[in-house]
Amino acid sequence: MAPAPNNPSIWKHLVPHLVDHYKVFLYDTMGAGSTNPDYFDFYHYSSIEGYAYDLIAILEEFNVQKCIYVGHSLTAMVATAASIFRPDLFHKLIMLAASIPEILNSGDYFGGFEQKYLDQIRAGMEKNKICHDLGKAALVVGCDMDSEAVQEYSRTLFNVLPDIALSVVRLLHALDMRPFLPQVTVPCHIIQSSKDVCVPQSVGEYIHKNLGGKSIVEVMPTEGHLPHLSAPEVTIPVLLRHIHHDIAG
């Protein structure tokens, strides 16, 4: 399983709480259904660096310095990479359900997935050109299939072209950022659901222990990979607290 490229609609419950106090920038991750697929360069986006360079270019274009970056899943990974290249652009990273540093179980590291299962997902996508079905979307979100959160997430998935979705899945399945975590010096706020089929709690603890700068972990009493959609009443106050307050010490 893997998230689709993000579009700003996933932050609809958070943004209204920020616009009166912050200058808010929202951007579409290239490949999202809201972007022009003609501009999706498969070579450029075959690595996390491609997405990171896009983020850096956006921040430079708008002369943004020392931003508070809020990212979910793939975009949390992107910001981590971007902060290694340009730490001066980031005040801190708010990482919600960050599926880094590696989703594959290996040795004593538990990323959440076995290689056989990832191979099955990739093979199914290559054969059927289908990103996800509604049942899998419900499993990822952690809600009933008829819930608003699952319906919205499903629309995001189904709007991504199959070839682009497959490219993102290949990237996520091959990515291993564990060697780079000590290079991340920007403060990181790691926020997770207590139950997430995509990101087990052990991933957040691993990130926390191996980052090169200050970090903090908070596990919320929520279920699913998109708690900002499925449980905004719990998630939004947590996000706001981490946005407003820096890590002590």
What pLDDT digit, counting tens, does each position of 49-60 carry?
999 999 999 999
249 assigned to some structural domain: no
1 assigned to some structural domain: no
**225 belongs to the catalytic site:** yes
Higher confidence at residue 137 or residue 192? 192
| Domain of residue 239, residue span | 8-244
* pLDDT above 50 for 2: no
8-51: pLDDT as tens digits: 678 999 999 999 999 999 998 888 777 888 889 999 999 999 99
**Side chain identity at 145, as an amino acid letter?**
M
Alpha carbon distance 237, 220 (integer Å): 11
Say how many domains are in the chain.
1
**196 belongs to the catalytic site:** yes
* pLDDT above 60 for 216: yes
> SS3 for the chain, per residue?
CCCCCCCHHHHCCCHHHCCCCCCCCCCCCCCCCCCCHHHCCCCHHHCHHHHHHHHHHHHHHCCCCCEEEEEECHHHHHHHHHHHHCHHHEEEEEEECCCCCCCECECCECCCECHHHHHHHHHHHHHHCCCCCHHHHHHHHCCCCCCHHHHHHHHHHHCCCHHHHHHHHHHHHHCCCHHHHHHCCCCEEEEEEEECCCCCHHHHHHHHHHCCCCEEEEEEEEECCCHHHHCHHHHHHHHHHHHHCCCCC
Mean pLDDT of 84-93: 98
- Quick one: pLDDT band at residue 72, thresholds 50, 70, 90? very high
163 assigned to some structural domain: yes
Residues 6+ apart with CB under 8 A from 138: 144, 145, 147, 150
pLDDT value for 100: 63
168 assigned to some structural domain: yes
The CATH number that applies at residue 171 is 3.40.50.1820
25 assigned to some structural domain: yes
* pLDDT above 70 for 99: yes
3 assigned to some structural domain: no
Structure tokens at 216: 């903090």
Catalytic member of 73, 83, 99, 154:
73
58 assigned to some structural domain: yes
Mean pLDDT of 134-138: 63
- Quick one: pLDDT band at residue 141, thresholds 50, 70, 90? confident
* pLDDT above 60 for 120: no
Catalytic member of 72, 132, 189, 225:
225
Catalytic member of 72, 83, 196, 215:
196
pLDDT value for 4: 47
148-204: pLDDT as tens digits: 877 777 777 777 777 887 888 778 777 888 889 999 999 999 999 999 888 888 888
